Amino acid sequence: MIGALIFVSLAVVGSSQGKPVDKAIPQPYQLRYFQGEFILRKDRDAWRVRVPPLPPAPVTSIAYRRNDCWAVWDERGLTIRVGDKLTSSKLEAIARSPRIFPHAELVDSLEKIKKGERSAFASGIGGSRRLGNYAYFVPRWLNKSGAIWLEALVRVDMTKSNPKPELVARIPGTTLFRNALDKWLVADDAGLALPVTTPEGWSILRIQDEQIFPYPHDGNLLDLVGDRYIQKLANNLFQYGSVEWKTPKLTMLYESRLPLAFTPVNPDLLLSQTETKSTAIFLPTGAQWELPSRSMIDAIGPFLLAYRVKNGGGVIEAGVFRRGTGEKLAAWMASAKK
């Protein structure tokens, strides 16, 4: 069939199946693509990865337990169970509470709830943690367009015989919205920490003795993985660095005028990508190497797989690299059958 794609391995130097695409590629590695899966072989070893990867199963609940007391967040909202006694709530009262809204803002918010522009029912969380005898949750309330209009810190005292959700404070900002049940709340021996975005930039909130202390930072927070962050500054520089949650202090580790993004392989392996250029950056060694433009990244065994997909789907080329040095081990390319 004219124009149909066939998939062949081009990674073996001296192979009778075709010319090698790169004379520097070590002979033992062979990369093939078959039925949506890349297979990398070396001698008797083989590593496989499906592309694009299947989406992970969504987290639908999170639970904390102390003796016979449970605090659970799921589709019911916040459910508290002690023995056979169970109560569930989507915390509608918090969305209407004069305790966390100035009068004029409360009046405006109640009107928007009445019109259906905002929901009064919490529908997810920005984070949760068990700290001592308390379970903490950061419930979210969404507006009609699906954006966060309110977040609050709620706790459950798991020592009580009849515990109920206790409002601690309104969150001054919003967490990064990645999943229905996000995990941005951090616990340490000094208390809790929560990164939030604000109209002025972003802040790390320290929560101690039920009080919130904001530590603002310049820039626009783009992403967080563990204690690593990527932000964009007002001068259009992109920064990658680490967060010391207790202080809380930022340490800049790398700066670039090109956009930066985390990869699913390692938080210290970054991808800098423009319309015409893709570069992998491994911070521990300082190694940088070029990838096919608009590459997608995944791990294949202990190595890095970079592949490119044409418009409309279909993988058209790929390469395998050592993570620490960028040494190219194997390559693959689709060709049109004439």
**Position 321 in a domain:** yes
**Position 226 in a domain:** no
**Position 254 in a domain:** no
Residues 74 and 91 occupy one common structural domain? yes
pLDDT at 10: 34
**Position 166 in a domain:** yes
Residue 91 makes CB contacts below 8 A (sequence gap 6+) with 77, 78, 121, 122, 139, 152, 154, 165
Residues 76 and 134 occupy one common structural domain? yes
Residues 49 and 61 occupy one common structural domain? no
Residues 68 and 122 occupy one common structural domain? yes
**Position 244 in a domain:** no
Q: Point out the domain boundary residue: 153, 184, 215.
A: 184
Residues 42 and 104 occupy one common structural domain? no
Split into its structural domains, the chain has a count of 2
Residues 139 and 69 occupy one common structural domain? yes
Q: Give the separation between CA 205 and CA 222, rounded to whole angstroms.
A: 17
Q: Which residues pair with 299 in a beta bridge?
A: 304
From first to last of its 338 residues, what are the pLDDT tens digits of the chain?
333 333 333 333 333 344 444 554 445 899 999 999 999 999 889 999 998 887 788 899 999 999 999 999 999 999 999 999 999 999 999 999 999 999 999 999 999 999 999 999 999 999 999 999 999 999 999 999 999 999 999 999 999 999 999 999 999 999 999 999 999 999 998 899 999 999 999 999 999 888 999 999 989 999 999 999 999 999 999 999 999 999 899 999 999 999 999 998 889 999 998 888 899 999 998 999 998 888 899 999 999 999 988 877 788 899 999 988 999 999 999 876 54
Q: Point out the domain boundary residue: 184, 215, 243.
A: 184
Q: Point out the domain boundary residue: 184, 215, 232.
A: 184
**Position 146 in a domain:** yes
**Position 336 in a domain:** yes
Q: Give the separation between CA 49 and CA 36, rounded to whole angstroms.
A: 9
Residues 116 and 177 occupy one common structural domain? yes
Residues 86 and 45 occupy one common structural domain? no
Residues 71 and 173 occupy one common structural domain? yes
Please give the residue range of the domain that contains residue 121.
55-184
Residues 137 and 39 occupy one common structural domain? no
Residues 73 and 90 occupy one common structural domain? yes
pLDDT at 336: 66
Q: Judge whether 97 and 152 are in contact, CB under 8 Å.
A: no
Residues 71 and 6 occupy one common structural domain? no
**Position 160 in a domain:** yes
Secondary structure string (H, E, C) spanning the chain: CCCCEEEEECCCCCCCCCCCCCCCCCCCEEEEEECCEEEEEECCEEEEEECCCCCCCCCCCEEEEECCEEEEEECCEEEEEECCEEEEECCHHHHCCCCCCCHHHHHHHHHHHHHCCECCCCCEEEEEEEECCEEEEEEEEEECCCCEEEEEEEEEECCCCCCCCEEEEECCCECCCCCCECCCCEEECCEEEEEEEECCEEEEEEEECCEEEEEEECCEEEEEECCEEEEECCCCCEEEEEEECCCCEEEEEEEECCCEEECCCCCCEEEEECCCCEEEEECCCCEEEEECCCCEEEEECCEEEEEEECCCCCEEEEEEECCCCCCEEEEEEEEECC
